[in-house]
């Protein structure tokens, strides 16, 4: 088991009080698993991704633990996390364009990064070139500035950089959302290839685009208002979701080939609750057509069949 997150709570500190962005999140990630993390904006998916690598100054670790390869991650202690970052846990940020230093050539930037982590660039140079070729880049990019590369090329450079030390866990936060569809496909396919070759052990792919994770992920976890709604294998989430929120979310997605005349899709009425003072009980109850009196109590996340977890009184 690569990653084991138990009852993780991370709050944002604001002048008006704590925003409960992650409120008791529990899940496991197996070796070699690519997990798609999906949900609406403000559901805590990016917060979860960030919590696994670095809490920024507004984020506070309130409770819960994270275990990676059997070792506890000291996420609340910024300095103690340093040895883990890049070696064990790595990140592909959303905008690769802003992740690269515009004043350095790519090759120099990578060397600086490796030296900062206490490694000799010469030891890794060969591997670096091999991986650049694998993602379809010429090794010539090392002598270029970021401005000379297209968006897709930059995203691939960042992907190679992030995974150069074979981390156990890679967090990709909307890594392909800013790309055109054809580039998106090739970047997403290279990520799966990296997993297959063992360059990364497992991956959390944060996205709002469920049809993209359907293409590449093994499992999908759907979050709602700081909590997990459902986690299951990709085909189960898409074809046989159990949580009412997942069901409504999947049925609201237009597909290539569907038209408004044939089947009119419906959105989910209402808006997600504010997390400054989150409601008690199930957080989806106000928008849920199946809500009943018991929803005033918080439903536990239960394994309703092997590998399929859902937090709803109706599924338990």
Partner 1 sequence: MLELDRVHKVYRVGAFGGGRLRAVRDVSLTVKPGEVVSLIGESGSGKSTIGKMVLGLFRPTSGRITVEGTDITTIKGFAARKEYYRKVQGVFQDPFSCFNPIFKADRVFEMIRSSYFPGVSDADWRDKVLAAVGTVRLDPENVLNKYPHQLSGGQLQRLLIARALLLDIKLLVADEIISMLDASTRIDVLNLLGDLKERGLGILFVTHDLSLGNYVSDTSVILRKGAIAEMGPTLRVFDNPLHPYSRHLLSCVPQLHRTWAEVDAELAANPPEDVTLPTVAEDDDSAPLLEAEEGHFVGIDQG
* Residue count of the chain: 316
Stretch that binds partner 1, among 9-17, 118-126, 261-269, 296-304 (CB under 8 A): 261-269
Closest to 53 (Cα-Cα) out of 175, 162, 199, 177: 162
CB of 178 to partner 1, least distance (A): 9
Restricted to residues 105-124, the positions that interact with partner 1 (CB under 8 A) are none
The DSSP string of 246-305 is HHHHHHT---TT--TTT-------S-PPPSSSPPSS-TTTTT-TT--GGGGSPPP-EEEE
Q: Is 181 in the site for partner 1 (CB under 8 A)?
A: yes
Q: Interface with partner 1 by CB under 8 A: which range of 55-63, 101-109, 258-266, 300-308?
A: 258-266
Interaction with partner 1 in 25-54: which residues (CB under 8 A)? 40-41
The least CB distance from residue 270 to partner 1, in Å, is 9
Residue 214 interacts with partner 1 (CB under 8 A): yes or no: yes
Q: At its nearest, how many Å lie between partner 1 and the CB of residue 203? A: 17
Side-chain half-sphere of 292: how many Cα atoms within 13 Å? Answer: 5
* 147-176 footprint of partner 1 as x/- string (CB under 8 A): ----x-------------------------
Which one of residues 28, 67, 209, 286 is an interface residue with partner 1 (CB under 8 A)?
209
Q: Which of 121, 157, 158, 165 is nearest to 136 (CA)?
A: 157
How many Å apart are CA 139 and CA 9, to the nearest integer?
A: 43
Task: Give the Cα separation of 31 and 265 in Å (integer).
Answer: 37
Measured distance CA(87)–CA(168) in Å, rounded: 8
Q: Which residue of 255, 289, 293, 306 would you call a contact of partner 1, by CB under 8 A?
A: 255
Which residue lies nearer to partner 1 by CB, 123 or 266?
266
Strand partners, 276: none
Residues that bind partner 1 in the complex, under the rule CB under 8 A: 40-41, 151, 180-182, 184-185, 188-189, 208-212, 214-215, 238-239, 248-250, 252-260, 264-268, 271
């Amino acid at each position: 088991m690569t990653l084991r997150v138990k009852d993780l709570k991370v709050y944002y500190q604001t002048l008006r009080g704590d925003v409960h962005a992650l409120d008791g999140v529990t899940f496991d990630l197996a070796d070699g698993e690519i997990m798609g993390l999906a949900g609406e904006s403000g559901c805590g998916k990016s917060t979860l991704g960030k919590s696994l690598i670095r809490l920024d100054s507004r984020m506070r670790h309130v409770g819960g633990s994270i275990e990676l390869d059997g070792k506890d991650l000291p996420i609340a202690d910024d300095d103690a996390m340093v040895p883990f970052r890049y070696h064990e846990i790595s990140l592909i940020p959303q905008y690769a364009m802003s992740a690269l230093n515009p004043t350095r050539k790519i090759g120099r930037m990578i060397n600086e990064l490796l030296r900062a982590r206490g490694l000799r660039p010469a030891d890794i140079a060969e591997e670096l070139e091999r991986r650049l070729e694998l993602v379809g880049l010429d090794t010539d990019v090392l002598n270029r500035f970021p401005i000379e590369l297209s968006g897709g090329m930059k995203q691939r450079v960042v992907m190679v950089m992030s995974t150069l030390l074979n981390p156990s866990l890679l967090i990709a936060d909307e890594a392909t959302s800013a790309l055109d569809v054809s580039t998106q496909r090739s970047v997403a396919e290279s990520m799966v290839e990296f997993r297959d070759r063992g360059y990364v052990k497992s991956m959390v792919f944060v996205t709002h685009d469920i049809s993209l994770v359907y293409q590449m992920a093994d499992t999908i976890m759907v979050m709602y208002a700081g909590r997990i709604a459902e986690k299951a294998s990709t085909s189960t989430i898409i074809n046989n979701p159990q949580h009412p929120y997942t069901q409504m979310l999947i049925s609201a997605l237009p597909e290539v080939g569907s038209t408004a005349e044939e089947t009119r899709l419906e959105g989910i009425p209402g808006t997600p609750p504010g997390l400054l003072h989150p409601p008690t009980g199930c957080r989806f109850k106000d928008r849920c057509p199946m809500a009943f009196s018991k929803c005033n109590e918080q439903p536990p996340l239960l394994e309703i069949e092997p590998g399929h977890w859902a937090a709803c009184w109706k599924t338990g």
